[in-house]
């Protein structure tokens, strides 16, 4: 018997939603280009940000668009997401732990939903459409924000939930010292913050030996203030998709139908 291998056929459009601590943002994405196919909508994250309240806001956001019923929907969440279920809650309401994020949002929206860690979504988008596009080997995308998120992609394959923001560095949870929120909290100059980043990224490159590090998160738009101060063996570049990355990555993974290959 002969068989013919076909590349899996994925939809060319999907809807991405980025659930963050202050805002829930969504847009339809053209997956041929990685661009939004209409303007992004943002709704403030309800407080307290319980699963029920957040899911209702996601439904409101999705309903503000006129979308085909079968359009795949992807949501990011800032926690470990294992097979759709939140397993940690470093910077979100503790009530999320154990919540099937994909199922809760699917129920609220009446749609098929895929849930993914926020940094995994953003990093994956960078490998498809941004700073790590076409890069072979081991790519590590690190997002610097309220926390530190990480995304490991090996020859285009995502290894989810690496959680490198929680490496122990000098006896501290790394993100508590080196996240952008730590820079703000401690009123650090760029130079002082870069010293902390230097310590952090040196540990990361010694453990993972990536071919490329991409730095994302809101502060990456000011990359010229701190990336040139770092002395690493690994090439380190700013993310390109900026705050679209989470939405685009969530949409791309939703179209594939899985976070795992
Ligand atoms: C969480 C990660 C998340 C990162 C960025 C960390 O505190 O543990 O899951 O990706 O923050 O939001």
Residue in 77, 81, 118, 245 to alter for ligand 1 test, most ligand atoms within 8 A of Cβ: 118
Name the DSSP class of 206.
H
Q: Is the pLDDT of residue 66 over 90?
A: yes
Say if CB 174 and CB 148 are below 8 A apart.
yes
Higher pLDDT, 260 or 161: 161
Percentage, residues of the chain above pLDDT 70? 97
Banded model confidence at residue 8, pLDDT cuts 50, 70, 90: low
Note the pLDDT of residue 42. Answer: 98
List the residue whose alpha carbon is closest to atom 2 of ligand 1.
Answer: 79
Note the pLDDT of residue 115. Answer: 98
In ligand 1, which atom is closest to the CA atom of 175? 7
Q: Ligand 1 centre and the CA of 87: distance in Å? A: 11
Note the pLDDT of residue 90. Answer: 84
Q: Is the pLDDT of residue 20 over 80?
A: yes
Does the fold of domain 131-240 match that of domain 13-118+244-256?
yes
Peptide bond into 48 cis (omega under 30): yes
Q: Look at residues 143, 147, 155, 128 and name the one whose alpha carbon lies nearest to residue 253.
A: 128
Q: Ligand 1 centre and the CA of 248: distance in Å? A: 18
Q: Residues 146-183: pLDDT tens digits?
A: 999 999 999 999 999 999 999 999 999 999 999 999 99
Task: Please give the average per-residue pLDDT across 63-70, as a whole number.
Answer: 96
In ligand 1, which atom is closest to the CA atom of 147? 11
In ligand 1, which atom is closest to the CA atom of 79? 9
CATH C-level class of 131-240 = alpha beta
Task: Please give the average per-residue pLDDT across 131-151, as a whole number.
Answer: 97
In ligand 1, which atom is closest to the CA atom of 117? 10
Q: Is the pLDDT of residue 52 over 80?
A: yes
Helices (H), the chain: 51-63, 101-109, 118-129, 174-178, 180-185, 190-208, 245-256
Q: Is the pLDDT of residue 98 over 60?
A: yes
Q: Ligand 1 centre and the CA of 92: distance in Å? A: 9
Note the pLDDT of residue 14. Answer: 98
Q: What is the pTM for the complete model shown?
A: 0.96
Note the pLDDT of residue 10. Answer: 86
Q: What lines the ligand 1 site, CB under 6 Å?
A: 78-80, 88, 90-91, 117-119, 143, 145, 147, 149, 163, 165, 175
Note the pLDDT of residue 104. Answer: 97
Q: Ligand 1 centre and the CA of 220: distance in Å? A: 16
List the residue whose alpha carbon is closest to atom 5 of ligand 1.
Answer: 149
Q: Ligand 1 centre and the CA of 3: distance in Å? A: 43
Note the pLDDT of residue 1. Answer: 44
Task: Please give the average per-residue pLDDT across 18-32, as a whole number.
Answer: 96
Say if CB 18 and CB 62 are below 8 A apart.
no
Backbone phi, then psi, for 24, in 5-degree steps? -115, 120
**Domain boundaries defined on the chain:** 13-118+244-256, 131-240
Q: What is the CATH number of domain 13-118+244-256?
A: 3.30.420.40
User: What average pLDDT is seen over the chain?
Assistant: 95
Q: Residues 185-232: pLDDT tens digits?
A: 999 999 999 999 999 999 999 999 999 999 999 999 999 999 999 999
Q: Residues 69-89: pLDDT tens digits?
A: 999 999 999 999 999 999 999
């Amino acid at each position: 018997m002969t068989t013919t291998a076909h590349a899996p056929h994925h939809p060319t459009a999907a809807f991405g939603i980025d659930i963050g601590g202050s805002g829930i943002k969504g847009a339809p994405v053209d997956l041929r280009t990685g661009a939004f196919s209409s303007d992004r909508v943002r709704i403030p994250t309800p407080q307290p940000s319980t699963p029920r309240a957040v899911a209702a806001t996601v439904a409101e956001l999705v309903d503000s668009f006129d979308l085909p019923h079968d359009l795949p929907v992807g949501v990011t969440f800032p926690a470990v997401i294992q097979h759709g279920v939140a397993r940690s809650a470093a910077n979100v309401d503790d009530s999320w732990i154990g919540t099937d994020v994909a199922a809760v949002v699917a129920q609220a929206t009446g749609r098929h939903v895929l849930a993914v860690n926020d940094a995994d979504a953003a990093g994956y988008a960078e490998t498809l459409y941004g700073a790590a596009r076409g890069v072979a080997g081991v790519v590590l995308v690190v997002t610097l924000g309220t926390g530190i998120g990480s995304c490991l992609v090996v020859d285009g394959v995502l290894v989810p939930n690496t959680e490198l923001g929680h490496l122990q560095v000098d006896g501290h949870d790394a993100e508590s010292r080196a996240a952008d929120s730590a820079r703000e909290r401690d009123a650090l100059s760029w130079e002082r913050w870069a010293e902390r980043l230097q310590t952090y990224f040196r540990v990361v490159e010694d453990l993972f030996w990536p071919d490329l590090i991409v730095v994302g998160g809101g502060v990456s738009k000011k990359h010229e203030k701190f990336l040139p101060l770092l002395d690493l063996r690994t090439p380190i570049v700013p993310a390109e998709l900026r705050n679209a990355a989470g939405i685009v990555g969530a949409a791309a993974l939703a179209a594939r139908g899985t976070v795992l290959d």
